[in-house]
Amino acid sequence: MAKSPSLSTLWKGNWRVRARVISGIVLFAYILFHFINIGLGIFSLELMESFQDVRQSIHRTVLGTTLLYGALLTHMSLALYRLARRRTLRMPPWEAFQVVLGLLIPLLLASHVLHTRMAHELYGLNDRMGYLVGLIWGNQSGWNQAILLLITWTHGCMGLHFWLRAQSWWRRALPLLISAATLIPAWALTGLMIQGRTQQALLSDPETFPALADEYNWLPTEAFGALKTGTSQTLLVFASFVLLALSVHLI
DSSP string, 37-83: HHHGGGT-HHHHHHHHHHHHHHHTSHHHHHHHHHHHHHHHHHHHHHH
Q: Tell which residue, 164, 170, 160, 144, has the closest CA to residue 26.
A: 160
Please state which of the ranges 55-59, 80-84, 205-209, 214-218 shows the lowest mean pLDDT. 80-84
* Band of pLDDT at residue 1, cut at 50, 70 and 90: very low
Distance CA 48, CA 43 (A): 8
The per-residue pLDDT for range 58-113, each reduced to its tens digit, is 999 999 999 999 999 999 999 999 989 888 888 889 889 999 999 999 999 999 99
Angle formed by the axes of helices 93-113 and 140-164, nearest 10°: 140
Name the average pLDDT for the chain.
Answer: 93
Residue 150, classified by CB atoms within 10 Å of its CB into exposed (0-12), middle (13-18) or buried (19+), is: middle
Residue 8, classified by CB atoms within 10 Å of its CB into exposed (0-12), middle (13-18) or buried (19+), is: exposed
pLDDT confidence of residue 51 = 98
pLDDT confidence of residue 2 = 47
Four-residue CA torsion sign, 45, 47, 51, 54: positive
